[in-house]
């Protein structure tokens, strides 16, 4: 059950990051405080996306706390790196985020995936 909560946390925090990034690209620049504040007066799609991202982030924290209660930290914490992979892949694929593909980023993603495989690869118990 702890693994399920950890994976829900990863999915929620990934969705939160993507929603908040999209919303911040759509909203007026924060240096124009009056425009930024005025945008919140109208519950436009970017404002709703930002609020949805904040809600998803809060729910991810709740799932994370439930996962930590049920899993050892040395198994749970590496799962957070899955969000780096999910956000990068989604940012490449989703319109409006304008993320550029770079080979170096692919290399980093493969290193993260390799590390996760090493951590979670089943180990043979020594016979004794």
pLDDT digit string, tens, across residues 13-63: 999 999 999 999 998 777 777 766 777 777 789 989 999 999 999 999 999
Domain that holds residue 113: 2-120
3 state DSSP class of 28:
coil
Residue 128 placed within a domain: no
pLDDT at 128: 62
Question: CA 91 from chain center: how many Å?
Answer: 11
Question: ∠ CA 104-108-109 to the nearest 5 degrees?
Answer: 115
Residue 114 placed within a domain: yes
Residue 19 placed within a domain: yes
Confidence (pTM):
0.86
Residue 127 placed within a domain: no
Q: Is the dihedral of CA 65, 66, 67, 68 positive or negative?
A: positive
- Taking only Cα atoms into account, the Rg of the chain, rounded to an integer number of angstroms, comes to 18
The structural domain count of the chain equals 1
Rounded to the nearest integer, the mean pLDDT of the chain is 91
């Amino acid at each position: 059950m702890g693994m399920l909560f950890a994976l829900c946390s990863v999915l929620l925090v990934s969705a939160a990051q993507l929603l908040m990034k999209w919303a911040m690209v759509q909203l007026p620049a924060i240096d124009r405080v009056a425009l930024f504040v005025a945008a919140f007066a109208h519950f436009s799609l970017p404002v709703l996306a930002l609020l949805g991202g904040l809600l998803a982030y809060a729910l991810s924290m709740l799932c994370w706390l439930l996962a930590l209660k049920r899993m050892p930290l040395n198994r749970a914490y590496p799962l957070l790196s899955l969000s780096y992979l999910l956000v990068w892949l989604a940012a490449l694929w989703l319109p409006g985020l304008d993320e550029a593909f770079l080979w170096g980023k692919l290399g980093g993603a493969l290193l993260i995936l390799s590390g996760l495989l090493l951590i979670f690869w089943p180990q043979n118990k020594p016979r004794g």
